[in-house]
């Protein structure tokens, strides 16, 4: 997970503030997360781990966020004969957003 300022466009001023890290949290501890591989947004669960609650709409302006591509990622890897998300045979393009951006 990364801070969305590095990866995604913000949809409103409040999301921009979070993306710019204008909060009590540091870049290492973002409130809003963006997983580039899955094009997936979330709100970080502050339990010491990396958990997040996936969100479908901006919490501030209500703009619909992109559909998560996580299920599609797993489906496509399964078609390649890969079921383990840590398998070293996963093509490099599936480790970034290239796998879905180039379609």
Q: What is the mean pLDDT of the segment spanning 60-87? A: 95
Taking only Cα atoms into account, the Rg of the chain, rounded to an integer number of angstroms, comes to: 15
Higher pLDDT, 50 or 97: 97
pTM recorded for the entire structure: 0.74
Report pLDDT for 1: 42
What's the pLDDT score for residue 29? 66
Give residue-wise pLDDT tens across range 75-87: 999 999 999 999 9
Higher model confidence: residue 67 or residue 29?
67
Can you give the residue ranges of every domain in the chain?
2-54, 70-101
HSE-up of residue 29 (Cα within 13 Å, Cβ side) = 8
Model confidence at 92: pLDDT above 70: yes
- Answer yes or no: are the C-beta atoms of 37 and 64 closer than 8 Å: no
In this predicted model, what pLDDT tens digit does every residue of 1-44 receive, in sequence order?
Answer: 444 444 556 688 887 777 655 545 455 667 788 888 998 888 88
**Burial state string for 42-63 with b = 16 or more CB within 10 A and e = fewer than 16:** bebeeeeeeebeeeeebebeee
């Amino acid at each position: 997970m990364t801070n969305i300022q590095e990866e995604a466009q913000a949809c409103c001023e409040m999301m921009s503030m979070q993306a710019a890290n204008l909060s009590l949290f540091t870049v290492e501890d973002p409130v809003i997360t963006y997983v580039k591989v899955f094009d997936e947004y979330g709100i970080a669960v502050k339990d010491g781990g990396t958990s997040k609650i996936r969100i479908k709409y901006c919490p501030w302006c209500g703009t619909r966020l992109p559909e998560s591509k996580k299920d599609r990622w797993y489906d496509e890897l399964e078609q390649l004969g890969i079921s383990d998300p840590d398998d070293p045979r996963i093509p490099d393009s599936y480790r970034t957003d290239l796998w879905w951006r180039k379609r």
